[in-house]
Structure 1
Amino acid sequence: MRADAQRNIDALLEAAKAAFGTSGVDAPAKEIADLAGVGVGTLYRHFPQRSDLVKAVFQREVDACADAAPALTAAHEPGVALGKWLHRYTEFLATKRGLATALHSGDPAFDALPGYFMQRLEPTLGSLLEAATASGEIRADISPKYLLYAVANLCLPVADEGVAYSQRMVALLIDGLRYGAELQQP
């Protein structure tokens, strides 16, 4: 792919993410193209159907969240890396709010996305949990799947509250994971 085409795709995905977050997935194509600095024809050339754009934004956000874990692990102690990743996941969920209507619409174009989400994020969180448990920083009785769901439930929209509210709720959950933690014996 040519560099300018890749730049256009990246700009369209960022613009769509922003537009979906504020206007929902039915944001006008012209609004998305204008935000990206491209023409509407360029948008449709890369994403012929609205579902193509929604899927691409969702997958890109899932990938960015999953790909953040190795850098966090390299830069921080296991418990801190886990906490920072959970806050990154919370930010992802805030972005997903604009995508939720489409993802739960029953449209078969989105059927594979929940599987993609779990395939990418469950092992990522599993490795973070394993390291934090082994270091004795968090309790050992939580699975990655249930923690993904717990954080998602804490991030459900609340009237007059934004991402900061969700971040506070997740911080309380992280404190709860520390309760009863002890160094695991080999």
Structure 2
Amino acid sequence: MVQEPNKAKRKLRADSIRNRERLLEAAAQIFSAGGPQASLEAVARQASVGIATLYRHFPTREDLFEAVYRHEVDHLGALAEQYAQDPDPVEALRRWFHANVRLVATKKGMMEALQLVAAASPGLRAYSFERLTGAIRLLLDRAVAAGAMRSDIPPEDLLRTLLGIYYSQGSGDWQPAALRLVDVFVDGLRTR
């Protein structure tokens, strides 16, 4: 029997794409509320799909966590592109940092699991670092070009500082303190 040459990947059907998106959104909500041990059945129910549909898209819990992590990183990248249209480039950077803090605050229950997935996958870690520093670079370059922000701080340092701000906060109501620190940090980057 003659084997057919490798077929091109089939294009996903529109309903399959919608189901995948609903699963990612549902997983983010369920894992945020119930932590990494929240059931996959609850994710499928929240997305209004069967458990088989979930497993068809994400064969393992780790696959689902990785997809959610990538989805959140891509969301932040798209948000930077949207904020890059803001006429005030310093405010755009501040708003993007605030969006990061709010994302972490709403996804706190999921963050431990996402960190474990990212730590276990060098490719995912590299992808998220590149995507997030690229988003910062887009916003920072605009502010530097406008003469509103220092040019001697690389985007990688801004990302590390942002991570430090929200991971150094204790438990409880840490978000207001993190937002204040972001504001102080951004103000410190302004040109004098």
TM-score, scaled relative to structure 2: 0.83
2:173 maps to what in 1? 161
Mapped contact 1:17–1:95 kept (Cα < 8 A):
no
Equivalent runs, 1:70-109 vs 2, <5 Å: 70-94=81-105, 97=108, 98-104=110-116, 108=120
Could you say which structure has the larger radius of gyration? Answer: 2
The alignment's C-alpha RMSD in Å is 2.1
Is there any run of 5+ residues in structure 1 with no aligned partner, and where?
A: none
Partner SS for 1:155: helix
State percent identity of aligned pairs. Answer: 35
Residues 106, 175 of structure 1: alpha-carbon distance in 2 compared, 3 angstrom cutoff:
closer
Is there any run of 5+ residues in structure 2 with no aligned partner, and where?
A: 1-11
Mapped contact 1:78–1:131 kept (Cα < 8 A):
yes
| Pairing partner for 2:39 from 28, 50, 63 | 28
Shift of 1:95: 5.3
1:140 corresponds to 2:151: yes
Shift of 1:5: 1.4
Mapped contact 2:65–2:113 kept (Cα < 8 A):
no
TM-score, scaled relative to structure 1: 0.85
Equivalent runs, 1:169-184 vs 2, <5 Å: 169-178=181-190, 181-182=191-192
